[in-house]
Amino acid sequence: MTLGRITTNAGEWLRGAGPRSDVVLSSRVRLARNLAGFPFVSRSSRRQREEILERCRDQIMNGQLAENVLWVGLVECPQVDCQLLVERHLISRQHARANDLARAVAVDTNETFSIMVNEEDHLRIAVLRSGVQLAEAFEQVNRIDNIIEKKLDYAFSKRFGYLTACPTNVGTGMRVSVMLHLPALKLTGEIDKVRRAARDIHLAVRGLFGEGSEAHGDLYQISNQTTLGRSEQEILSEFEHTVVPQIIAYEQQARQALLQQRSVQLDDKIWRAWAILTQARMLGSEEVLTLLSHLRLGVNLGRIQTVDIQTINELFLLSQPAHLQKINGSAMEGAVRRQGRAELIRRRLGAAD
Amino acid sequence: MTLGRITTNAGEWLRGAGPRSDVVLSSRVRLARNLAGFPFVSRSSRRQREEILERCRDQIMNGQLAENVLWVGLVECPQVDCQLLVERHLISRQHARANDLARAVAVDTNETFSIMVNEEDHLRIAVLRSGVQLAEAFEQVNRIDNIIEKKLDYAFSKRFGYLTACPTNVGTGMRVSVMLHLPALKLTGEIDKVRRAARDIHLAVRGLFGEGSEAHGDLYQISNQTTLGRSEQEILSEFEHTVVPQIIAYEQQARQALLQQRSVQLDDKIWRAWAILTQARMLGSEEVLTLLSHLRLGVNLGRIQTVDIQTINELFLLSQPAHLQKINGSAMEGAVRRQGRAELIRRRLGAAD
């Protein structure tokens, strides 16, 4: 079993089929856990990290979590494969840069979950779902957590809850996030208002690739910052029933405003995106994300009907550098990569020569 | 007879059918003349300019120059019509801004010639031809000059030749120019070398709309600066047999270099231009000139075959503000004009809904 198998199609989170997928690409719930009796990763010895790794692997790979689980040691993993895992949101950029034999990730081959070992915490268990499916994602991550906990003793304090390397995760150790596509709020300029409002209620707003990344393609990750003093159910419920529906409503209002007040400008963006994606012979990765965003908006508003949402969602992923190179079968740099990207997109959009 | 008749198609100079029209859009020869016994325009009284105007009109409109000649007084002329004449290169921008009842232009309705009265000189007689046709243009302008001279006494000095308001025109009073399309020299960056070389041999290099204008659409006007101490034939011959063929050769070399060494980049430019021109819902005038330039290059190199050169040449003109408004039948500003421009272009390129 290799990573090759998961390259050429989209993971679960980009199927584009989940509830409210016109605005919400994916839901994600992750738990931070540490083993009792060991120091946190940053303070541990190599010997200790190796022991943590072994214990976790035994439990993760024992067949109880899923039918097929892929175990990837990050130091042995080729650079392009690490990058691929980042692009698919299965590991963090920090984890990909690991220079430590005791770092690894376990991925179920349907890509519904990934478990990073020895990232910031001993275990980071994450479940990804398409559209708004936070309750479902929590149920699954909780099930995985329970299976692992049967054999491994977690660091837990009666007063604080789960103990984690960074204080922002102490308590539930849970982070809930949704990936939102907010092109209309961006076009109307209201996105900054939404960002400020989100921050005011202690939510983090990030770009496509998490911490420190830009919101290319008008894709925004919104997640909770507070993990202490509230139950998982409270956090989930507020997110699913208040925060997410409100942002969806704002985006929908902005889309309607564009349709009613600036339909020509809107169509101009949409049709230029379609035109360039189907005709350009070279495309940069950032330009593509912007164009795919406008095209996705056009499809969601029914302005363009020659392509479906799933194809666009897949292209968000397949046009990224590591995916392109995996599909191509060899390394591509600079102009050659931009050319390969344009070819792939023309082919997938049915516009190849 | 009104200006409306000349709006919807291209003038002679943009027919795109003349010799070497792959690089040279048009040839132009103009003569500067002043009437003896009157001060130059800038030093004349209004009374004197009116008398000059009358004498010139009588001679220009007496039926000997062409079958149909249109006489346009610029103060009475609506703003949009003045702008139209500028866009068609029938009057200068300076002449269009005239606030003087004694300023006018005579235009033959086939647009092979225009005669400005009381611009910088009393008379500016210009002939425009498609492609490289300098000898033919000179023959025609000379014929017109002779007819006018039969009845009007020109200011002439045995020592200096024809006397003109600006010393740069003294002597022959002749300016020879060609409008060149040099997209490949622009893309390879060699255009600056050509500009410097042209200046070294005392040629002026200007943009699409003459003095002080930018080279939008990669269109460059090259003209002689020297009018004194050399005969018309010497100037013409050097221009037609040395200067123009050399620049054409440079451009052709650059086109071949692009084809052989950077064909993907070249096709990217060409197909993006085609894509945006046929799909955008709003287009600015400068963007259109750049896109039309790349499209024209693509057609000339045989990379794109769905449109002909004449259509593209016409669009260079018809997409300009005054032309758009004349075709539309009413004033258009800002977003509405950009929308009208995109519609016109989609229609003319056969891509309308």
Q: What percent of chain A has pLDDT over 70?
A: 93
Decide if pLDDT at B243 tops 80: yes
DSSP strands (E only) in A251-311: none
Show me where the domains of chain B are located: 3-254, 263-348
Read off the pLDDT of each residue in B212-229 and give the average, rounded to a whole number. Answer: 82
Contact between chains at B276 and A275 (C-beta distance less than 8 A):
yes
Decide if pLDDT at A53 tops 90: yes
A264, A275, A335: residue with CB nearest B339: A264
Residue with tokens 């009007």: B152
Maximum separation of any 2 CA atoms in chain B, in Å: 65
B268, B275, B282: residue with CB nearest A275: B275
Residue with tokens 């740069």: B168
Q: What single DSSP character describes residue A149? A: H
Residue with tokens 């790349």: B294
B274, B279, B335: residue with CB nearest A274: B279
Express each pLDDT in A69-96 by its tens digit. 999 999 888 889 999 999 988 999 999 9
Determine contact, residues B104/B128, Cβ cutoff 8 Å. no
A209 vs A91: CA distance, rounded Å: 10
- Mean pLDDT is lowest, of A221-235, A296-310, B103-117, for A221-235
Question: Which residue from A153, A147, A76, A61 is spatially nearest to A107, judged by alpha carbons?
Answer: A61
The Cβ-side half-sphere exposure at B228, using a 13 Å CA radius, reads 12
Express each pLDDT in B185-199 by its tens digit. 999 999 999 988 888
Q: Which chain B residues are closer than 8 Å to A351 by Cβ?
A: none
Residue A75: both structure tokens together: 């130091």
B28: which strand partners? B128, B177
Q: Which chain A residues are closer than 8 Å to B272 by Cβ?
A: 275-276, 279-280
Read off the pLDDT of each residue in B30-53 and give the average, rounded to a whole number. Answer: 96
pLDDT, position A92: 92
pLDDT, position B158: 93
Contact between chains at A280 and B282 (C-beta distance less than 8 A):
no
Decide if pLDDT at A119 tops 50: yes
Decide if pLDDT at B1 tops 50: no
Contact between chains at B280 and A276 (C-beta distance less than 8 A):
no
A261 in B contact zone (CB under 8 Å):
no
- Residue B119 φ/ψ, nearest 5 degrees: -80, -125
Determine contact, residues B84/B70, Cβ cutoff 8 Å. no
Best A259, A271, A294, A336 residue to mutate vs chain B (most B CBs within 10 Å) = A271
Question: Which residue from A228, A243, A238 is spatially nearest to A197, judged by alpha carbons?
Answer: A243
Residue A268: both structure tokens together: 């101009």
B107 vs B118: CA distance, rounded Å: 15
Average pLDDT, chain B: 91
Q: Work out whether strand B104-108 and strand B69-73 pair parallel, antiparallel, or are unpaired.
A: antiparallel
Closest Cα in chain B to A262: B335
DSSP H helix total and E strand total for chain B:
13, 10
B79 in A contact zone (CB under 8 Å):
no
Decide if pLDDT at B236 tops 50: yes
Q: At what angle do helices A334-348 and A263-279 cross, to 10 degrees?
A: 110
A334 in B contact zone (CB under 8 Å):
no
Other C-beta atoms closer than 10 Å to the C-beta of A212 total: 8
Determine contact, residues B280/B342, Cβ cutoff 8 Å. yes
- Say how far residue B225 (Cα) sits from the centre of its chain: 17
Q: What percent of chain B has pLDDT over 90?
A: 70
Decide if pLDDT at B7 tops 70: no
B319 vs B312: CA distance, rounded Å: 10
- Mean pLDDT is lowest, of A259-273, B99-113, B284-298, for B99-113
Residue B307: both structure tokens together: 């449109």
For the entire predicted model, the pTM comes to: 0.89
Decide if pLDDT at B58 tops 60: yes
DSSP A9-21: S--GGGSS-STTT
Question: Which residue from B303, B51, B200 is spatially nearest to A279, judged by alpha carbons?
Answer: B303
Q: Which chain A residues are closer than 8 Å to B279 by Cβ?
A: 271-272, 274-275
A89 vs A29: CA distance, rounded Å: 12
Q: How confident is the model at residue A329 (pLDDT cuts 50, 70, 90)?
A: confident
Decide if pLDDT at A352 tops 90: no
Q: What single DSSP character describes residue B99? A: -
Residue B166: both structure tokens together: 């600006």
**One-letter amino acid identity for A280?**
A
Q: How confident is the model at residue A99 (pLDDT cuts 50, 70, 90)?
A: confident
Give the distance from residue B317's alpha carbon to the nearest chain A alpha carbon, in angstroms.
23
pLDDT, position B60: 95
Give me the residues of B, 272-291, that contact A with CB < 8 A: 272, 274-276, 278-282
Contact between chains at A281 and B271 (C-beta distance less than 8 A):
yes
Read off the pLDDT of each residue in A221-250 and give the average, rounded to a whole number. Answer: 90
Q: Which chain A residues are closer than 8 Å to B282 by Cβ?
A: 264-265, 268
Give the distance from residue B40's alpha carbon to the nearest chain A alpha carbon, in angstroms.
51
* CA angle in degrees (0–180, nearest 5) for A74-A75-A80: 70
Read off the pLDDT of each residue in B13-24 and give the average, rounded to a whole number. Answer: 81
SS3 A323: helix
Residue with tokens 């029914």: A302
Decide if pLDDT at B3 tops 70: no
Average pLDDT, chain A: 91
Question: Which residue from A326, A317, A327 is spatially nearest to A90, judged by alpha carbons?
Answer: A317
Q: Which chain A residues are closer than 8 Å to B305 by Cβ?
A: none
Number of residues that make up chain B: 353
Contact between chains at B335 and A267 (C-beta distance less than 8 A):
no
B267, B271, B276: residue with CB nearest A272: B276
A171: which strand partners? A162
Determine contact, residues A203/A222, Cβ cutoff 8 Å. yes
Decide if pLDDT at B214 tops 80: no
Determine contact, residues A114/A17, Cβ cutoff 8 Å. no
Read off the pLDDT of each residue in A25-35 and give the average, rounded to a whole number. Answer: 95
Provide CATH code, domain B3-254: 3.30.590.10
Decide if pLDDT at B83 tops 70: yes
Q: What percent of chain B has pLDDT over 70?
A: 93
SS3 B125: strand
Q: Which chain A residues are closer than 8 Å to B264 by Cβ?
A: 281-282, 335, 339
Between A213 and B118, residue with greater pLDDT:
B118
B264 in A contact zone (CB under 8 Å):
yes
Best A279, A287, A339 residue to mutate vs chain B (most B CBs within 10 Å) = A279
Residue B113: both structure tokens together: 């010639």
Read off the pLDDT of each residue in A128-157 and give the average, rounded to a whole number. Answer: 95
A275, A281, A342: residue with CB nearest B278: A275
B40 vs B38: CA distance, rounded Å: 7
Separation in Å, CA B333 to CA B29, B321, B330, B339, B341: 35, 9, 10, 10, 11
